[in-house]
Chains A and B, each alone.
With several copies, the nearest count.
Chain A
């Protein structure tokens, strides 16, 4: 059986209904484990003090937000090439989740920057890119909301997502060119993977997994909601004609 079978709303509903409780449960478990471990059971960093605990939210949220964009891009491409309705709806469902994670990364970053860099915000390339990222998400969601016909909306947002991705890469480069930034170097005793001692690394990995699972669970629920709404609309429309 090809994976395209699941592009059929009925099959998708059946399958997602079966996996959803497991995904949601696993997400809750890993998140709880990772956060409790990170928050209560790790020592303070010698330089950053207790602020290092923010990493257990900041980094997973940031990477999940980036992955959400990737999911939307792939789903949009699938919709445009193969016109499977479920993939368009998955893209739609992922956007608000991605936006929330982006906001979380931004806010936790700001809370972290305050003690570390002495400022809530810096026009650092990474940060700037994330801000532009959040704007992309906002525009994308607004476009979905503004167009009434769902097929039209799916097509338009699909095109936007693809063009937007190209420009996101461009912006990344442009912003790097514009400012060399302090995100990495400034005060981090542990930016690159090999510098992170295991004490922090293991709970961090658990948290990253937790956020990804949470993303998956939320997207599944939201996609199921979208499918239900569309089905209800279809039924009501048919009723009207009958």
Chain B
């Protein structure tokens, strides 16, 4: 298990491995939206929580197909499936690796991007907290989508289509936490729901993902 985690992290930081690129994409969304929408601070500040969460979600999404597709294409997934590692464990570890290279850096970078979108000062803390609690769910759900589409050649966009609806609750509660936090309102309810989604997804989805992979390898 640790070997798999280390391998995945090592592959991520090696040339072309994609570490930091999710982050870059997040940054790009935060830059492009003002370019498209216009520079007025009032409007931007109002949409900032939503846009930041949508941006985080899209960045996660883009690196999802790496979770299994590369291993499938070069045959390692076949070999992993015939190895002594339980597939459920492998899935969980790969989702964890994905979070470590995508969700975590994203969370840490979010406050800086908040500046670009004129996020109100009271929102920064909650932005970080909500991302920290919410992004693991994105990785786990994403791993499930990746497992479903692993056999499909370049299933990247199909993957997006499958996964995005599953992301909706996380997005709504996550953005709500930031919006309320920024407005100084009570945030306990959405935060609790966000945490519940993450916990539930992390506990149950690896089993579904492992089953999906086994089917796809047949």
Contact = CB atoms under 8 A, between A and B. Distances in A.
Interface of A: 110, 119-124, 128, 131-132, 135-136, 138-139, 142-143, 145-149, 151-152, 155-156, 159-160, 162-164, 167, 170-171, 173-175, 177-179
A171 B65 CA distance: 24
Contacts of A139: 24, 158, 161-162, 165
Contact of B158 (A119, A143, A163, A175): A143
Contacts of A143: 148-149, 158, 162
B35 A178 contact: yes
B70 interface: no
B141 to A, nearest CB: 8
Nearest to A178: B172
21 contacts: A119-B118, A121-B116, A122-B39, A128-B35, A131-B116, A135-B31, A138-B161, A139-B24, A146-B16, A147-B15, A147-B151, A152-B151, A156-B216, A160-B148, A160-B162, A163-B166, A167-B169, A177-B189, A178-B35, A178-B38, A179-B39
Nearest to A136: B165
A177 B190 contact: yes
A122 B44 CA distance: 11
A160 B158 CA distance: 13
Main secondary structure of the interface of A (DSSP, over half): helix
Given A121-B115, A121-B118, A146-B158, A171 B212 contact: no
B166 A177 contact: no
Nearest to B170: A174
Interface of B: 15-16, 20-21, 24, 27-28, 31, 34-35, 38-39, 41, 115-116, 118, 144, 148-149, 151-152, 155, 158, 161-162, 164-166, 168-169, 172-173, 176, 189-190, 193, 197, 205, 208, 211-212, 215-216, 218
A135 B165 contact: yes
A135 B35 contact: no
Contacts of A164: 165-166
A142 B158 contact: yes
B28 A152 contact: no
Nearest to A176: B172
A155 B148 CA distance: 10
Given A132-B31, A170-B197, A179-B39, A152 B218 contact: yes
Contacts of B38: 178-179
Given A122-B39, A175-B172, 5 more contacts: A119-B118, A142-B24, A146-B152, A152-B216, A178-B39
